[in-house]
A and B are shown apart, each in its own frame.
Chain A
Amino acid sequence: MRPRKTGYLFVAPYVALLIVAGIYPVLYAINLAFTSLTAHFSGVTNFVKSWANPEFLPAIGHIGLFLAIWLTVLVVFVVGLSLMLHSLDSRVSAGFRFVFYLPAALAGSAGVMLWLFMLEPGTSPWDFVLRWFGFSTLGDTLASGHLAIVFAVIAFWSGAGSWIVVMYGALATIPPEVLELARLDGAGPWRTAMTIKLPLIKKWIAYMLIGAFAAGTQLFAEPQLISEATGGFINQTWSPNQLAYNLSFHLGNFNYAAAISVDLLLVAAICAVVILRRSGLFTVDH
C-alpha cells in the first residue's frame, strides 16, 4: 500500500463524475421532493400527495403483479437452464449460452419493437399460439389483464441470458472433486443438482432475486413503448416510473415526480444494502 497523495490523484476523476452524475442528482431529487412549488420546505407533503394520486396505487399494484410473475419465471428457468447446461460438455453449453444471451443485444426499444410483431396475430410467427388463446388482434393480446405477463415475457427474453451466464459461472467454480465424490457415492445427475450444486449457488440465486426485484420496480421501456404502440389505449401511467415521468412532463410537477423517484430510489438502495451486507458476494478488504 502506498501513501495517500497519489492515491487521491488516481481516484479523483472518477470521484468527480460520481458526484456530478451520481451523488448530486440524488441529493437534488431529495431536496426537490421536500420542497413545495413555491420553493419552501414542505416536509413530507409531496410524498403524501403523490401517494394519494389516483394513479399511484394502481401503478404499485401493476408492478407488484409483474414482479411476482417475472421473478418466479426468472428463478425457475435461469436456475433450471443453468443446471442443465452445466451437465453438458462445456463447448456445447457455450453454444447454448451464446444463443440465450443473444437477445440482450436487442434489449430496450429494439426488443419491445420485435415483441410487438410477435404479439400481433397475423404477423407473428407464433400466430397459432395466439389464435389458440383466442386472440385475433393486437388489442386482444394486450388486454389490460395480460399486460403484466406480456412485460414479464419480454423482460425474460432480453434479460435471462445474462443471468444464465452469471449462474453458469457460479456453477463452474464448484471443484470437480466434489462432483466426482458425489458420483462415486452413487448420486445421479438429479440428486447432484439438488443436494450439491443448488446449495452451492444459493447466494447467487439470492443476489439475482434481489437485483432483479430492484431492477423490475424500475420498469419503463416496455409499458411506455406499448402505450405508444396502442395510441394511448393503454394507460401511460402503468408503472411507477411512467407515472413519475408523466407527472413531470405533462403536468410540470417536478416536486411530485421527485418524490416518486425518491421512493423508487429508496427501494433500490435498500436492495443494494441487503445484497452487500447479506450475500457475502462483494468483499471489501480491511
Chain B
Amino acid sequence: MRTFAGARSRWSIGQLLMYAALLIMTAFFLVPIVWAIVDAVGVTAVRWLLNSVVYSTAGVVIAVGLCIPAGYGIATHEFPGRRALLILTILMMLIPPTALVLPLFLEANAAHLLTSPLALILPYGLFPFGVYLAYLYFNTARFHALLESARIDGCNEWQVFRRVAIPLSLPVSALIVFLNFVASWTNFFLPWVMFWSFGTTSRYPLSLGIALQLYHPQTTGFYAGGGAVASGLQLHTSSPPSQVALLVLLAGLPVVVVFVLAQRWIGSGQLQSVFR
C-alpha cells in the first residue's frame, strides 16, 4: 500500500536536488517553444491566453468540486426536496447558458462585480449538466451495492464518499472537465458583457482578444448604419491576417489538448450508465 503522507513529510536533500534538476530541464525543453509562441502572437495575446487558462481552469475546478458531491448526494441519499432539485437541475441544463447572460450581467452590475474575474468564474463553475451526469453515473444498482458493503465494513458517510465514490468518479469527472472546459473556453457572450465596454483589455480572455482584432475606429454607436452595407466594404484587422489566423489556432489548441487528456477516461466504456 502506498502512503503519500510519509513521502510528503520527509523531503530529503537528494529529492530536492532531483526536482530542481527536473525543473531546469523542463525549462530547457519548453522555453524555445514558449518563445516561439510569444514572439509569433505577441505578449498581449499570451496574456489573454493565460487569462483564459485561469478563468476556465478555476471554473472547471469549481464545477467538478460541486458536481461530483451533488450528483452523488442526489443519487444515493434521500432528503426532502431531492426530486425537486433533480428536476430543477435538468431544466437548468436544458436552458441555453446564453439565456442567463443578461440576467447575470444585471446582477453583476448591481453587485459591482463587472470586470471582476469572479463574474466569469462563478457562472462557469455552475454546471447542472455535470450534476446530472454524475447523478446518472452513481445511480446504478452495482454502485449502490458497493456503497452498502463499504458501510457494512464500518465506513461512515464521509469515508464512503472519500474512499469509494471519489476514486470511482474518475471517468465521469474527466467528461465533466472536458465539457465544462470547452463551454467556458469558447464562451463569448458572457465575457463580452462583463468586460468589453470597460476598457480593461489586460483582463480579457482570448475570445475577447480575438474580437479586439476587428475593432477599428469607424465602429460607431447604437443604430449606426441602419442596415445598409457599403458594397466596397473590406475586412480590416488590427494585426496582419497571418497573425490573426495564428491567434485563432492558438485558441483551438487547448480544447484539443484537454480532449486528448480526457479521452483516456471518456472512451473507457466505464461511462455506459451515462449513455444508456
> Could you tell me which A residues sit within 8 Å of B by CB distance?
1-11, 13-15, 17-18, 20-22, 24-26, 28-29, 32, 55, 104-110, 113-114, 116-117, 120, 123, 137-140, 142-144, 169, 173, 211, 214-215, 218, 220-221, 224-225, 228-237, 241, 244-246, 248-251, 254, 257-258, 260-261, 264-265, 268-269, 271-273, 275-276, 282, 284-286
Chain A residues contacting B247 (CB-CB under 8 Å) are 110
Number of A-B contacts (CB under 8 A): 289
Contact B248 A106 (CB under 8 A): yes
Q: CA A6 – CA B186 in complex, angstroms?
A: 36
Which residue on B lies nearest to A249, using beta carbons? Answer: B197
Main secondary structure of the interface of A (DSSP, over half): helix
CB proximity of A105 to chain B, nearest CB, Å: 4
Contact of A257 among B74, B102, B226 (CB under 8 A): B102
- A199 to chain B minimum Cβ distance, whole angstroms, is 19
Are A123 and B77 closer than 8 Å at their CB atoms?
A: no
Binds A, one of B13-21, B31-39, B121-129, B169-177: B121-129
- Nearest residue (CB) in A for B134 is A14
* Contact A28 to B103, CB < 8 A, known contacts A13-B65, A116-B235, A214-B95: yes
| B216 interface contact, C-beta 8 A | yes
Complex alpha-carbon distance, A25 and B123, angstroms: 11
Chain B residues contacting A258 (CB-CB under 8 Å) are 102-103, 106
8 Å CB contacts to A: which residues of B235-252?
Answer: 235-236, 241, 244-245, 247-248, 251-252
**Interchain CA distance A271-B247 in the complex, whole Å:** 36
The proximity string for B residues 137-159 relative to A, scoring 1 for CB distances below 8 Å and 0 otherwise, is: 00100000000000000000110
* Number of B residues with CB within 8 Å of any CB on chain A: 98
The answer to whether B78 touches A21 (Cβ under 8 A) is no
Tell whether, in the assembled complex, residue B229 and residue A215 are in contact, meaning their CB atoms are under 8 Å apart: no
* A22 CB to nearest chain B CB (Å): 6
**Which residues of the partner chain B approach A251 to less than 8 Å between Cβ atoms?**
222
B225 touches A233 (CB 8 A): yes
CB of A108 within 8 A of CB of B188, answer yes
A-contact bits for B81-121, CB 8 A (1 contact / 0 none): 01101111111101110111111111101100000000000
Looking at B3-11, B22-30, B207-215, the stretch in contact with chain A turns out to be B207-215
| Complex Cα–Cα for A18 and B82 (A) | 14
Q: Considering the chains assembled together, what is the distance between the CA atoms of A110 and B250 in angstroms?
A: 9
Which residues does chain A contribute within 8 Å of B83, judged by CB atoms? Answer: 284, 286
Query: A9 — which chain B residues lie within 8 A by C-beta?
Result: 73
Partner of B126, one of A17, A138, A269: A17
**Sample of 5 more A-B contacts, CB < 8 Å, known A228-B214, A284-B86:** A17-B126, A109-B210, A137-B234, A218-B98, A233-B228
In the bound complex, what is the Cα–Cα distance between A13 and B131 (angstroms)?
Answer: 12
Q: Does B164 sit at the interface, judged by CB under 8 A?
A: no
- Tell me the smallest distance from the CB of A139 to a CB of chain B, in Å: 3
A28 and B109 CA atoms in complex are apart in Å by 11
- CB-CB under 8 A from B41, the residues of chain A are none
- Known contacts A25-B103, A248-B102; A117/B241 CB under 8 A: yes
| A21-B210 contact given A3-B78, A7-B77, CB 8 Å threshold | no
* Contact, CB under 8 Å: A26 / B126: no
Interfacial chain B residues near A232, Cβ < 8 Å: 218-221, 224-225
Known: A117-B245, A137-B233, A261-B102. A254 touches B73 (CB 8 A): no
A143 to B72, CA, bound (A): 52
**Quick one: which of A4, A218, A235 contacts B226, CB cutoff 8 A?**
A235
Judging by beta carbons under 8 Å apart, are B224 and A218 in contact?
no
Please measure, in the bound complex, the distance between the C-alpha atom of A142 and the C-alpha atom of B228, giving whole angstroms.
10
Q: How far is the CB of B206 from chain A (nearest CB, A)?
A: 8
Sample 24 A-B pairs with CB under 8 A, ordered by A number: A2-B157, A3-B78, A4-B78, A4-B79, A13-B65, A18-B92, A21-B122, A24-B107, A28-B103, A29-B107, A109-B208, A110-B207, A113-B214, A113-B248, A229-B236, A232-B220, A233-B229, A235-B226, A248-B106, A257-B102, A258-B102, A264-B102, A268-B99, A272-B95
Q: How far is the CA of A265 from the CA of B255 in the complex (A)?
A: 29
